[in-house]
Amino acid sequence: MASNQSHRMRRRGLKIAHFIGLFLAMSVICIPGLWIVLNSFRPTVEIMAKPPVWIPNDLNLDHYRAMFGAVGEGGVPVLTYFRNSLIISVTSTVIAILIGMAGGYAFARYRFKGKAAIFIALMVTRAVPGVALSLPLFIIYARVGLIDTHIGMIVTYVAMNVPFTIWLIDGFFRQVPRELAEAAEIDGCTRWQAFWRVEFPVARSGIASAGIFAFLTSWNEYALASQLTRSVTSKTMPVGLLDFTSEFTLNWGGMCALAVLMIIPALVLTFLVQKHLIAGLTFGGVKG
């Protein structure tokens, strides 16, 4: 009896410790984001106060009005930056997913000479930090006329995301039984029809996960974008944050307001596909 009670107490203690640990971890992750959101609604005096003002006294939309030019500060071309980011991120993600599906499926289903070496070479390219590529890319793009263009950024982000999408989608297609496609072909489907009607729907959640990660990588990337874009016509939102800095001052409220606008599309997209995202992340660990 005493042993059972001791066991229950130990389990309860571990459960409480587990929840405390999760709470602390989520606090470390979420508090900086919450602080950015609050600062986007607080006056500059309160943001710069020392010691920090933890509980806001005055919340307003002044930073958002100023950002869109309603207060006479000239405003940052946020809508243009947003459009640039959207065009570059969506286009590069779609292309990377199409190439990743083709490459991942080929690695998962077919045997060919040099398969392992090619796969390892792709993964090695993914390990190279983007900032190390900025100077070589700048020199090459300057020679071919791709500096400060959407096409240049799209090509860059496709090259960045393709190795990751191939690796991720390859793992998902390996979990799809070959017998499904073979059965579809026996029933009269072509190889192409078997892929789209049988294999693709099964691996769709995994492909959606790869798409989310590719989109967020392109959406949030700064190092390469800051080197390869120059004018308003091609700058993305992360680079646009620099418009809130000057020689002697830093507009923290404006930067926080733009950061909130950057976060919203990512949150909306993740919310819309969260079902596929969760299923895709757990797909490879559960066998049917």
Query: Does 288 score more than 50 pLDDT?
Result: no
d(CA 212, CA 10): 40
Amino acid 215 reads: F
Q: CA-CA distance, 46 to 59, in Å (whole number)?
A: 10
Residue 277: pLDDT over 70:
no
Average pLDDT taken over every residue of the chain: 82
CA distance 155 to 188: 39
pLDDT per residue as tens digits for the range 131-158: 788 888 999 999 999 999 999 999 999 9
Q: What is the pLDDT of residues 189-216, one digit of tens each?
A: 777 888 888 888 888 878 888 888 899 9
DSSP label at residue 175: T
CATH architecture of 78-283: Orthogonal Bundle (1.10)
* For residues 268-286, average pLDDT: 62
Where does residue 237 rank: exposed (0-12), middle (13-18), buried (19+ CB within 10 A)?
A: buried
pLDDT at position 158, please?
94
Q: Is the pLDDT of residue 280 over 70?
A: no
Give me the residue spans of the domains in the chain: 2-67, 78-283
Query: Closest Cα partner for 63 from 82, 38, 86, 84?
Result: 38
Cα gap 93→246, rounded to integer Å: 33
> Residue 278: its pLDDT value, please?
59
Q: Does the pLDDT value for residue 27 go beyond 70?
A: yes
CA distance 56 to 49: 11
- In tens, the pLDDT along 66-123 reads 777 654 455 678 888 999 999 999 999 999 999 999 998 888 888 888 888 888 888 8
Of 99, 216, 75, 267, which is closest to residue 169 (Cα–Cα)? Answer: 99
Q: Given this model, what pLDDT does residue 285 score?
A: 43
**Long-range own/partner contacts, residues 113-122 (CB < 8 A, 24 or more apart):** 119/166, 119/167, 119/170, 122/162, 122/163, 122/166, 122/167
Confidence grade of residue 248 (pLDDT, cut at 50, 70, 90)? low
Q: What is the pTM of this model?
A: 0.81
Burial, 273: exposed, middle or buried (Cβ in 10 Å; 0-12, 13-18, 19+)? middle
Kindly tell me if the per-residue pLDDT of 230 is higher than 80.
yes
**Residue 275 banded pLDDT, cuts 50, 70, 90:** low
